[in-house]
Amino acid sequence: MLFYTLRVREQILDIMEKTCGARMTFNYDCIGGVMQDLHPDFVKDVHALLDVLPANIKEYNKIFTGNVIAKNRMENVGILTRHDAISWAVTGPNGRGSGWACDVRKCEPYSIYSELEFDEVVRTEGDSMARFKVRMDEMVQSARIIEQLIDNIPEGDYCVKVPKVIKLPAGNWFKMVEGCRGTFGVYIESDGTANPYRLKLATPCLPAAAVVDHITDGQKIADLITIGGSLDYIVPDIDR
């Protein structure tokens, strides 16, 4: 299954490499916009990606989702209830796989998400298979979003000038966005100087890792690989 998905992954990384010169650590977004303008082939390459995605996703479902081995290893394994997802603040695909409609783009829209048509994918089973299926379906929704945007990229400066030293007025702010693994929040408290009095990052992977002990209780040791993989937490996000 991994090797089938690597084809599209390479296609995506090729697009990013053309634009920002890197395949993994993009370093493209910055205060004021982005580091440089899009590559001339960007729109064409994204359309080529959108053209092959439906057939690829169909292939993934044929090979893996309905596979009897995958179903036996994932269904009813590592069940996270909706109540526990909310209690442990497990957001993103993991929370939505447990029936919790927690997509920030829907419940607290930002940027232009309120103007776009896409569905919030929610499943109620709460097991490893549900979390996997949510991610599969969200690829389809991501493609829907990109299709609405790719031919409507506005002209203009890609990076506006900002002061070299940014001072926030005294006060506090909290903002959330929907990351690929769940809700990513930033809290800043300012005393009016150039350095924040307090900066707190609320990342989605720490709750996902914290709940592992709870949902693996009574499971087999071999199921830990399935459960950890379906939760998809990563150490850099936890460490931050």
Q: What is the pLDDT of residues 79-90, one digit of tens each?
A: 999 999 999 999
Q: Please, which contacts does 58-64 make with residues 24 or more away whose CB atoms are closer than 8 Å?
A: 59/4, 60/1, 60/4, 60/5, 60/136, 61/136, 63/1, 63/4, 64/1
Residue 151 forms part of a structural domain = yes
Instruction: Give the model's pLDDT for residue 67.
Output: 94
Residue 221 forms part of a structural domain = yes
Which residue stretches of the chain have pLDDT < 50?
Answer: none
Residue 55 forms part of a structural domain = no
Instruction: Give the model's pLDDT for residue 27.
Output: 87
Instruction: Give the model's pLDDT for residue 24.
Output: 86
Residue 204 forms part of a structural domain = yes
Residue 28 forms part of a structural domain = no
Decide if 205 contacts 92 (C-beta within 8 A). no
Q: Which domain holds residue 233?
A: 66-239
Q: What is the pLDDT of residues 22-52, one digit of tens each?
A: 988 888 998 899 999 999 999 999 999 999 9
- Sequential DSSP letters for the chain: -HHHHHHHHHHHHHHHHHHHS-SS----EETTEESSPPPTTHHHHHHHHHHHHHHHHHHHIIIIIT-HHHHHHHTTSS---HHHHHHTT--HHHHHTTT----HHHHS--TTGGGS--PPP--S--SHHHHHHHHHHHHHHHHHHHHHHGGGPPPS-SB----SS--PPSEEEEEEEEETTEEEEEEEEE-SSSS-SEEEEE-SHHHHHHTHHHHTTTS-TTHHHHHHHHHT--HHHHH-
Instruction: Give the model's pLDDT for residue 85.
Output: 98
Instruction: Give the model's pLDDT for residue 31.
Output: 87
Which residue, among 122, 125, 4, 129, has the nearest Cα to 57 in the 3D structure? 4
Instruction: Give the model's pLDDT for residue 164.
Output: 86
Query: Domain of 183: which CATH number?
Result: 1.10.645.10
Q: With b meaning 16 or more CB within 10 Å and e meaning fewer, what string describes 45-61?
A: bbeebeeebeebbeeee
Residue 182 forms part of a structural domain = yes
Residue 52 forms part of a structural domain = no
Instruction: Give the model's pLDDT for residue 174.
Output: 96
Instruction: Give the model's pLDDT for residue 226.
Output: 95
Based on the structure, what is the number of domains in the chain? 1
Residue 61 forms part of a structural domain = no
